[in-house]
Chain A
Amino acid sequence: DTGVSQDPRHKITKRGQNVTFRCDPISEHNRLYWYRQTLGQGPEFLTYFQNEAQLEKSRLLSDRFSAERPKGSFSTLEIQRTEQGDSAMYLCANDPGQESTGELFFGEGSRLTVL
């Protein structure tokens, strides 16, 4: 257990519905990342927060994806109008130190299945 919690662990939804994932990091006010991973691939970068500021968002990410991290604590990732291609494992990772080391602690992931 890394101390990074993700909810829900599994989500099955119909195409066109909206879904939201939550991540609770080890500690607040540090760096938090969202990645997407499909079978046989490495984690694909989605977005990244330093405290509450979203510093970077993948250019590959459509505007259906949005993420927030209010007050630098937990984070949410919302996918609007889901498509079958959104089916994947969504991973949250925390770089918890005072200084950014790049050493990430991952949550167990939220698996999304879009029917």
Chain B
Amino acid sequence: QKEVEQNSGPLSVPEGAIASLNCTYSDRGSQSFFWYRQYSGKSPELIMSIYSNGDKEDGRFTAQLNKASQYVSLLIRDSQPSDSATYLCAVKRSSASKIIFGSGTRLSIRP
């Protein structure tokens, strides 16, 4: 079992709709959770971090965490063509531990 699992996609969403990206993790002791966006040929950039159960909103982005289900999701509202990228879920167990990435979900926003 992979430590962080994501559906590789591609996920195709019409412009203006909500894109929903999902991630599960295997280590129940994980404490910190992150979503990174990676455009083709570029390095990952952090878009959201979440540390406690529930929702965290930042502009058009909402991260959701359910530690009991070991599940993290990212919602992108009013999807724009510029949101087309690979979205990477990352998990950290504690302050002294490494950060593990999933394989990413490729998102395509169609006009």
Interface of A toward B, CB cutoff 8 Å: 2, 33, 35, 40-45, 48, 50, 55-56, 91, 99-109
How far, in angstroms, from A65 to B36 measured CA to CA in the complex? 26
B44 on the A face (CB < 8 A):
yes
- Our pick among A2, A33, A41, A106 for the contact of B98 (Cβ within 8 Å) is A33
- Chain B minimum-CB-distance residue to A35: B101
Q: How far is the CA of A45 from the CA of B3 in the complex (A)?
A: 12
- Tell me the minimal C-beta distance from A96 to chain B in angstroms: 12
* Size of B's binding interface in residues, CB under 8 A: 25
| Contact surface of B with A, Cβ cutoff 8 Å | 4, 6, 8, 32, 34, 36, 42-46, 49, 88, 90, 92, 95-104
> How far, in angstroms, from A40 to B32 measured CA to CA in the complex?
24
Residue of chain B at shortest CB distance from A107: B43
> Which chain B residues border A48 with CB–CB below 8 Å?
98
- Measured between alpha carbons, how far is A43 from B101 in the docked complex, in Å? 6
- A50-B96, A100-B96, A106-B44 known; A41-B103 Cβ under 8 A: yes
Question: How many A-B contacts if CB must be within 8 Å?
Answer: 60
| Cβ B96 vs Cβ A55 within 8 A | yes
Q: A residues within 8 A CB of B92?
A: 102
Cα–Cα distance between A30 and B108 once the two chains are bound (Å): 36
Residues in chain A near residue B104, CB distance under 8 A: 41-42
Say how far A1's CB is from chain B's closest CB, in angstroms: 11
Q: Out of B32, B44, B100, B103, which one reaches A45, CB within 8 Å?
A: B100
Question: Please, which residues of chain A bring their CB within 8 A of the CB of B46?
Answer: 103-105
| A109 to B36 alpha-carbon distance, docked (Å) | 16
Residues of B within 8 A of A106 (CB): 43-45
